[in-house]
Chains A and B, each alone.
Chain A
Amino acid sequence: MITHIGILNIISVVYLSFVVAFTFGLNEHDVPGKIVRVTIVRWVKLLLALLVISIVVRILGRI
């Protein structure tokens, strides 16, 4: 069972990865449409990478 601290950590991963993706998007582009597109693409990639890492850690934790 996941605790409220665990849920808070998961929400933090989603939010902080957005902050990082948005920062790089803002720095790279000036056009709002491009900033939004680049941010979303980078955010999703980052979350997928984090998901893969969490699955690997989960599997290794069971060995």
Chain B
Amino acid sequence: MSGDLTRLAEQTIERAGKAGAQQSAALISRRRFIDLQYRDGKLEKITESKTSSLSLDLYVDGRFSSHSSSDLRPQILKPFVARAVAMTRLLGADKHRGLADPALYDNRPTTDIQIYDPAYEQVTTDRRKAIASAIERTARAQEGPIISVTSGYYDALGESAQVHSNGFSGYRRATQFWMGGEVSVKDEGGRRPEDWYWVGGRFLSELPGAKVIGREAANRALARLGQVKLDSGHMTVVVENRASRSLMRHFMKAMSGSSLQQQRSFLTDKLGKRVGSSAFHLVDEPLLPRALGSRHYDSDGISAKKRTLVDRGKLTSYLIDVYYGRKLGAAPTTNGTSNLVMGLGKRSKEAIIKSVKKGVFISGFLGGNSDSTVGDFSHGIVGFEIRDGKLGRPIGEMNITGNHLSLWTKLVEVGNDPYLYSTMHIPTLVFEALSVSGK
């Protein structure tokens, strides 16, 4: 399999060269997947297909463009490449455009990152259905005013070959498995609150069982009965691991070379400076076995390596890709994180909650955004009140509002529970004195 994708990528590069591109990069991907849903006792939907695509980056006379197609027939690709090269010539020249310095391709790690589960080939459609059906059945069997349960199962085998005209060639094959449930319950006043529990990973055997998932989904939804809105105020905010990534994503946007070069980053001139408390420690870890973000190279072809981004509160590295690196006159690091891993604390979520006298526990965000130029953010929240060390009534229709430059200095503790069903392994986070608005 690997050979034919790589060959097609090589042929595409060759064709681009003949058509006049001085440099080019081709990525051919192929994926096969099954996606199914159960609802209220029966199979509701099943989708099964194979899909492939080509993407081609062209560098022609100092000009750049990128192209994609799902139609890989040779008789289509040949004119496709020729037209793409001709179009590129019409653009403005930009001296910063070009493939990575080939030295950045060197020392590619060979660590076995285990992103392909050999057990994938033995998974039958009957087994997939049995998993989804068991999640749905277990959730529906929980005690309480459950209206509807939908469960799902998805798996995929993906392969990609990437070839650059200046000497890079990479191939990867990876599996992924996802399963979970969504439950709606009947509340007073016609409200039908919902919640979910989904898990996913590279290896099927690493995921929790269907019954655990079904119970968790139902219990999370049932816990949402009787939602209240609290008074506005400054308070301790505990953000559950599965929700904390939303905040992190907005922080990370300001780390990118494009945000920095375009003057849209609140982290400009912060390198080497304090951006958070000593509990704020972030590492990009590309080589973790079986993790969803693991890789040997990034999409610029740069060899992966572990990199500390925030060292106990101090900003130590930006995320700079090849293009913006040239524009900024800075050495490229990587164009995006692989597994973003946060340094862990000692205590569990439960132990943390026990030590909070009064505050809110956020189990999810509803909307909101952040201005990456200045760091202002405001998000809708869903969760529970915390009173005297215990989770109290469910809360909603409330917002948290602040600025990223002060938010992370208010991070007083992190949990020992990284969220592993994601490329961001962020634990439960505890912030002091955030602005929470409600009544």
A pairs with B = no
Chain B residues with CB under 8 Å of chain A are: none
Chain A residues with CB under 8 Å of chain B are: none
